[in-house]
């Protein structure tokens, strides 16, 4: 972790009050959090943290016929052999896909895991900064919360969240998450329009899988996370993909200009929306 992106929201209705980024520059996380709390006035705020892609592992697996509150426990040992560390050392959560995913042939679920000592370290850093960490979530859930701000769509919608080195492609419909994919393509690779083809292929693979395997039909809209070059990228993709491609404009729902801000801050908004989830 080299920087912290943050957003402060008013709830009900959600309104973006402030946002920014703090660079660690070799400092301890607790020191940077203390500085952030003072500068942004977060001392009495309810805080929600979204993990970076490299801090957790997300796996798709068949789900047993148990209630949602028992799903994580039921899947703990099923994913044990897929972890690079002992399952006893894992902090684990799970959520089931909607029943109509994969045409209802088999109930599926995503399992998110993170080393328990990493979670404890984050809790400790926030505690040292005298900040109350209310919840820890993952980018997929932050994207889903962002998607729920949008007008519900009868057809699927894809959110493409681009950071400096990675891309998160999340497909949602009617407020539910159906598919998440990551690719090692970020703005560091998308320097010119001729570099856009690699991302185009990743998005097309996701759309094809959503239609042919998950069985949810055609996606009608693709939204690119805010960035100073997002408009250029969206224009290229719009010319080469069947769905409409636009830049994700959060100002429509959050009452503040968000142009040119990287995806980490958009995800920070998704994490902050956890207070009203």
Confidence (pLDDT) at 259: 56
Number of helices and strands (H, E) in the chain?
8, 12
pLDDT tens by residue, 187-223: 988 987 778 999 999 999 999 999 999 999 889 999 9
DSSP string, 226-253: P-TTHHHHHHHHHHHSSSEEEE--THHH
The pTM for the full model equals 0.90
Most confident of 37-41, 76-80, 178-182, 256-260: 178-182
Beta strands 57-62 and 108-115 are antiparallel
Burial (CB count <10 Å: 0-12, 13-18, 19+), residue 220? middle
How crowded is residue 106: how many other Cβ atoms within 10 Å of its Cβ? 10
User: For 12-35, what is the mean pLDDT?
Assistant: 87
- Higher-confidence residue of 120 and 148: namely 120
Q: Residue 237 pLDDT > 90, yes or no?
A: yes
- Higher-confidence residue of 100 and 42: namely 100
Position 275 confidence tier, pLDDT thresholds 50, 70, 90: low
| Cβ proximity of 182 and 246 under 8 Å | no
Q: Indicate the range of 20-24, 48-52, 175-179, 244-248 predicted with least confidence.
A: 20-24
Domains of the chain: 53-118 (3.30.1490.300), 140-276 (3.30.420.40)
- Percent of the chain at pLDDT > 70 equals 94
User: For 250-257, what is the mean pLDDT?
Assistant: 72
- Percent of the chain at pLDDT > 90 equals 55
């Amino acid at each position: 972790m080299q920087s912290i992106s943050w957003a402060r929201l008013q709830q009900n209705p959600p309104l973006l009050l402030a946002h920014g980024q703090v660079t660690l520059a070799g400092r301890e996380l607790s020191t940077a959090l203390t500085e952030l709390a003072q500068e942004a006035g977060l001392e009495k705020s309810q805080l929600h943290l979204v993990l970076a892609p490299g801090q957790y592992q997300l796996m798709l697996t068949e789900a047993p016929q148990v209630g949602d509150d028992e799903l994580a426990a039921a899947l703990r040992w099923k994913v044990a052999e897929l972890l690079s560390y002992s399952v006893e050392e894992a902090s684990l959560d799970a959520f089931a896909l909607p029943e109509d995913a994969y045409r209802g042939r088999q109930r599926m679920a995503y399992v998110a895991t993170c080393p328990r000592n990493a979670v404890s370290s984050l809790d400790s850093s926030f505690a040292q900064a005298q900040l109350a960490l209310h919840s820890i979530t993952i980018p997929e859930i932050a994207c889903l919360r962002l998607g729920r701000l949008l007008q519900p769509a009868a057809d699927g919608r894809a959110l493409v969240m681009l950071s400096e080195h990675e891309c998160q492609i999340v497909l949602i419909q009617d407020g539910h998450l159906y598919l998440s994919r990551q690719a090692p393509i970020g703005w560091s690779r998308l320097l010119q329009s001729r570099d856009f083809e690699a991302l185009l292929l990743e998005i097309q693979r996701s759309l094809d899988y959503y239609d042919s395997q998950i069985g949810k039909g055609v996606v009608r809209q693709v939204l690119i996370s805010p960035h100073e070059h997002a408009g250029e990228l969206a224009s290229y993709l719009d010319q080469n993909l069947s769905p409409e491609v636009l830049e994700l404009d959060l100002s429509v729902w959050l009452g503040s200009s968000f142009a040119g801000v990287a995806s980490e801050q958009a995800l920070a908004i998704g994490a902050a929306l956890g207070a009203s989830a």
